[in-house]
Amino acid sequence: MIMTTGNEVANHSITDYLGIVHGIVVRNPSFGQGILGGISSLFTGVNIPLTTYCAELRKEALQLMEENAEQLGAHAVIGLRFDSSHVGIQSAALVAYGTAVSLVRHAD
């Protein structure tokens, strides 16, 4: 599946716009991630456990969005964006979204 933040795909023409697709993940960091992250940031200035946690959320949201696009028969997702927010006191929500499209490849 091609995924891009752009509104077109090189060497392809968009034949159909299939709709907006998304992947939403809401999760709490583990107790260990919070404690280890606090200790890590004291010594390095970087909260490595929570950085890893955020990367996992992003990967999972992209996977869910891709599955949503595949259900529509899409070849690509264009205009890919991310949005995040807090839900409750400690939960994080991450949304990946874009437009699912059908493509045809140009002859070289």
pLDDT band at 53 (very low <50, low <70, confident <90, very high): confident
Q: Which residue has the tokens 């280890």?
A: 36
Per-residue pLDDT, averaged over 61-85, amounts to: 97
Q: Domain with 78 in it: what CATH number?
A: 3.30.110.70
Can you say whether the dihedral through the CA atoms of 28, 34, 40, 41 is positive or negative?
positive
Longest pairwise C-alpha distance within the chain: 56
Domain housing 48: 2-105
Q: How many domains does the chain have?
A: 1
Q: What is the mean pLDDT of the chain?
A: 86
State yes or no: pLDDT of 19 exceeds 60.
yes
**In the structure encoding, which two tokens stand for residue 81, read together?**
């964006």
Backbone angles phi, psi at 77, to 5 degrees: -125, 125
Per-residue pLDDT tens for 72-82? 999 999 999 99
Rounded Cα gap, residues 69 and 97, in angstroms: 10
Please report the pLDDT score of residue 31 as a whole number.
53
Q: What letters, b where the CB count within 10 A reaches 16 and e where it falls short, cover 32-62?
A: ebbeebeebeeeeeebebbeebeeebbebbb
Q: How many CB atoms lie within 10 A of CB 74?
A: 24
Please report the pLDDT score of residue 52 as a whole number.
82
